[in-house]
Amino acid sequence: MRIMHTADWHIGKRLAGFDLAADQEAVFEELVKVAAREQVDAIIIAGDLYDRANPSEESVLQVNHMLKRLNRELHYPLLVVSGNHDSGVRLGSGREWFDATGLFMHTTLAEAFTPVVLGDTQFFLLPYFEPVAARLYFDDATLTNINKAMHRVSQTLQQQFDPAKKHVLVAHFFAAGSTHSESETLVNVGGLDAVAVSDLAAFDYVALGHLHNRHALNEAKVQYAGSLLKYSVSEAHQEKGVYILDTETMRRKFVSIKPLHDLQHLTGTFAGFADPAGFSAAERDAYTALTLKDDTVIPNVMATLRKIFPRLIGLDRERQVDLGEQPHANVKLAPTMLVAEFFHQVTGHEMSAEQLEWAKSALVKAKEED
């Protein structure tokens, strides 16, 4: 069998205020094309379908549409687990009806122990779970962290192994050895809160979600799919796409998927960025974080750069302006100009005459109090 492995869709996620729904929809349609071209037999979605536990109606409609398209229209069996960003309850609403058409969605720990059998393979769908869920399920107070809990879960899953079949684990957690990017919620990262890869050795393959970097872990049979899109500046250089797993050989290959708009992080001078001729249409259309090499105050910096890069998601300076210990060109500027520049950086708007007046009188007052 040929299985597509994707994860971390994060439907509903916004990037610096930008709604990503259209980008997600576009990359999803590309994913559909890959599934057809690669003639996959089933699709794994390894958690974080939603970006938050209580998604908006628009996000619910979008995920429903995606699942419906893959399962009801295109008839792919789907192997889905909930991630830490999903509410298992809300995502799993209706899941008792899903099995009938081959949409297998597990959102509670208990469900993981009943494998889904497709062709030559047993799939164990283990949703994201907290150690307390394992303590309750096993009635074992010693399962105080995810590593201990997963050890027990893994042992129990192996009891369900059919020796005549291959065994694939679909899960959503932080596996030891992997590294993080900014767009994951960093809660309890550390040795005790990571799953030891050794506890996964019994499986022929482990298809993971959680970390957005597909290279986060370098293991022969344990693989993060990576996120659907670049969801933070730290992911700017990561290639996004899906894996295609062959269950006969347990070999996978990566198929990259081009987004509607890329996400880039550029470093340069304001003069360079402010020249539209220096960038292609695609570069100007990308979600863009800029790092300025300049040290001088630049009036209207956000407003000017937004004209060149309408999807500007971040702006900083290569050298931090530190007014305290290291004297700097900027300190020679009038304080109102510094305030005006700061206002720009934060809001992207110019200060109005009235606001400038307020700033001036506040500075006068502050000086008096000195």
Binding residues for a copy of itself, rule: CB under 8 A, are: 54, 57, 60-61, 64, 68, 71-72, 87, 89-90, 93-98, 100-101, 103
Name which of 59 and 223 has its Cβ closer to a copy of itself: 59
Name which of 104 and 124 has its Cβ closer to a copy of itself: 104
Smallest gap, in angstroms, from Cβ of residue 28 to a copy of itself? Answer: 17
Reduce the secondary structure of the chain to three states and give it as a string: CEEEEECCCCECCEECCEECHHHHHHHHHHHHHHHHHCCCCEEEEECCCECCCCCCHHHHHHHHHHHHHHHHHCCCCEEEECCCCCCHHHHCCCHHHHHHHCEEEECCHHHHHCCEEECCEEEEECCCCCHHHHHHHHCCCCCCCHHHHHHHHHHHHHCCCCCCCEEEEEEECCECCCCCCCCCCCCCCCHHHCECHHHHCCCCEEEEECCCCCCCCCCCCEEECCCCCCCCHHHCCCCCEEEEEECCCCEEEEEECCCCCCEEEEEECHHHHCCHHHCCHHHHHCEEEEEECCCCCCCCHHHHHHHHCCCEEEEEECCCCCCCCCCCHHHHCCHHHHHHHHHHHHHCCCCCHHHHHHHHHHHHHHHHHC
Smallest gap, in angstroms, from Cβ of residue 38 to a copy of itself? Answer: 25
Smallest gap, in angstroms, from Cβ of residue 53 to a copy of itself? Answer: 8
Beta bridge partners of 171: 208
Smallest gap, in angstroms, from Cβ of residue 66 to a copy of itself? Answer: 12
Name which of 55 and 226 has its Cβ closer to a copy of itself: 55
**C-alpha span between 216 and 193 (Å, rounded):** 16
Name which of 1 and 60 has its Cβ closer to a copy of itself: 60
Smallest gap, in angstroms, from Cβ of residue 193 to a copy of itself? Answer: 24
Smallest gap, in angstroms, from Cβ of residue 60 to a copy of itself? Answer: 5
Name which of 65 and 360 has its Cβ closer to a copy of itself: 65
Name which of 71 and 122 has its Cβ closer to a copy of itself: 71
Smallest gap, in angstroms, from Cβ of residue 3 to a copy of itself? Answer: 21
Name which of 103 and 134 has its Cβ closer to a copy of itself: 103
Smallest gap, in angstroms, from Cβ of residue 106 to a copy of itself? Answer: 15
Name which of 73 and 318 has its Cβ closer to a copy of itself: 73
